[in-house]
Amino acid sequence: MPIVTEQLSYVYSPKSPFAKQALNGVTLTVADGDFLGVIGHTGSGKSTLAGHFNALIRVQSGRVEVDGIDLRPKKLDFKLLRSTVGMVFQYPEYQLFDESVERDVGFGPRNLKIPPDEIAERVRESLEMVGLDYEGVRRRSPFELSGGQKRRVALAGVLAMRPKILVLDEPTAGLDPRGKAEILELIRRVKKYMCPTVIMISHNMDEIAANCNKIAVMSGGSLVCVLPPEELFTRGDLLKEHGIEMPAVTRIANALADRGLDIPRSLVREDDLVAAIVAAKRGAIKAATPAKPERAQKAENNIPHTDAVKDAAKKGGDECVTFR
């Protein structure tokens, strides 16, 4: 049970004219192996919630437990906690400071007082994990890298502490479509090979739908619900009330279903959509010509529009092409 919060509330600058209730009784459980997406409007308390997970923001009222550690006491083993929960902030590239990529990535492990040869190994491991060429970048200054590369170095800096839980605050903000895709790809890789539990804050529903198995919806400091994507994106009432956009895939599925194609409306992943369209087409063809299986076989091989739909789904991800 890595993360449990119970009735967690937080007020910024309490007892002052600027007091601001940022969290309001949030009760949430994140299980091992979860890929939790956190969505909600700006100012809904997503970052404040995430800050609690490695005690950068201290518990004011309520309870937080992370990997068996109660975060309420004033004195904590911060090093243990912060190496367990890796936190990647928004625009993490702005935290780079050291003279070389290697030293910057090694900052976390050095603070953990890990022996130098192990640090070197971790640095190599995490730079390779984020898809950078270790020998090629290790001696370069982090400031001379491109934006996308900087962000990966910053990510490697967190991974070098070998966290079990990775928290990412809008990891793809401000990147071009390709940079976004690359970062998401490497997040999936990290989840698979390194830290099994990932929490990702994002405003991009396509990213969320394609990767997460659970989605937490925040609004005005409260947790509205935690639902699997297939369920959330079919709940028209929730989407409407909280101004949540549908992922492109779900929009396409809905558009096709509206026009009479027999596919479920709850599709959230590109592959599922393609499979559903194929199945629906096959079903339609079979229904029309039940006696000639070899023709159906042939038809399946050149189903019209599948590629176009797939393309559109991809495009929709980045440019929000609406199919209504």
Partner 1 sequence: MRDVSIGQYYQTDSVIHRLDPRVKLVLAVAYIVMIFFIVSFIGYALGFLFILILVLLSRVPPLQVLRSLRMILFLIIFTFVLTVLFYRGGGDDLLFGWQFIKIYKTALINASKMALRIMLLVLGPSVLTLTTTPVELTDALERLLWPLAKIKLPVHELAIIMSIALRLIPTLVEETDKIISAQKARCAEFDSGNIFKRAKALLPVLIPLFVSSFRRADELAFAMDSRCYRGAVGRTRMKVMRLALRDLFAVLGFCAVFFAVLLLTYNWFGFGFIPLLTPGGY
Touching partner 1, residues 92-131 (CB under 8 A): 92, 94-98, 107-108, 111-112
Nearer to partner 1, 194 or 257 (CB): 194
- Which class for 16: exposed (0-12), middle (13-18), buried (19 or more C-beta within 10 A)? exposed
* Residue 204 binds Mg ion, judged by CB under 5 A: no
Footprint on this chain of ligand ADP (rule: CB under 6 A): 12-13, 20, 22, 40, 42-48
Nearer to ligand ADP, 52 or 251 (CB): 52
* Residue 301 binds partner 1, judged by CB under 8 A: no
Phi/psi at 76 (5° precision): -135, 160
Name the segment binding Mg ion (CB under 5 A); options: 41-49, 54-62, 98-106, 111-119.
Answer: 41-49
* Residue 47 binds Mg ion, judged by CB under 5 A: yes
Touching partner 1, residues 36-95 (CB under 8 A): 51, 54, 56, 78-79, 82-83, 86-87, 89, 92, 94-95
Nearer to partner 1, 97 or 193 (CB): 97
Nearest one of 169, 90, 186 to 132, comparing CA atoms: 186
Q: Which of 45, 157, 171, 317 lies at the binding interface for partner 1 (CB under 8 A)?
A: 157
- Using DSSP, state whether 257 is helix, strand or coil: helix
What beta strand segments (E) does the chain contain? 3-12, 20-30, 35-39, 61-66, 69-70, 85-88, 165-169, 197-201, 214-219, 222-227
The pair of three-digit structure tokens given for residue 136, joined into one six-digit string: 């090629």
Nearest one of 80, 32, 82, 77 to 52, comparing CA atoms: 82
Q: Which does 78 bind (CB under 5 to 8 A by kind): partner 1, ligand ADP, Mg ion, none?
A: partner 1
Give the torsion sign (CA, 309, 310, 311, 313): positive
Quote the Cα angle for 259-261-264, to 5°. Answer: 110
Residue pointed to by tokens 């198995």: 213
Q: What is the β-pairing status of strands 85-88 and 35-39?
A: unpaired
The contacts of residue 268 (CB under 8 Å, 6+ apart) are 209, 210, 229, 230, 233, 247, 249, 250
Q: Which does 43 bind (CB under 5 to 8 A by kind): partner 1, ligand ADP, Mg ion, none?
A: ligand ADP
Residue pointed to by tokens 């780079």: 96
Nearer to ligand ADP, 54 or 234 (CB): 54
**Taking the CB of residue 199, how many other CB atoms lie within 10 A of it?**
27
- Using DSSP, state whether 37 is helix, strand or coil: strand
The site for partner 1, by CB under 8 A, has a size of 27
Nearer to ligand ADP, 29 or 222 (CB): 222
Least Å distance between CB 228 and partner 1? 29
Nearer to partner 1, 47 or 211 (CB): 47
Least Å distance between CB 112 and partner 1? 6
Gap between the Cα atoms of 313 and 322, Å rounded: 10
Q: Which does 323 bind (CB under 5 to 8 A by kind): partner 1, ligand ADP, Mg ion, none?
A: none
For the window 196-225, what string marks contact with partner 1 as x by the rule CB under 8 A? Answer: ------------------------------
Q: Which does 281 bind (CB under 5 to 8 A by kind): partner 1, ligand ADP, Mg ion, none?
A: none
Output Rg (C-alpha) for the chain, integer angstroms: 23
The site for Mg ion, by CB under 5 A, has a size of 1
User: Which residues form the interface with partner 1 (CB under 8 A)?
Assistant: 12-13, 18, 51, 54, 56, 78-79, 82-83, 86-87, 89, 92, 94-98, 107-108, 111-112, 143, 157-158, 161
User: Which residues form the interface with Mg ion (CB under 5 A)?
Assistant: 47
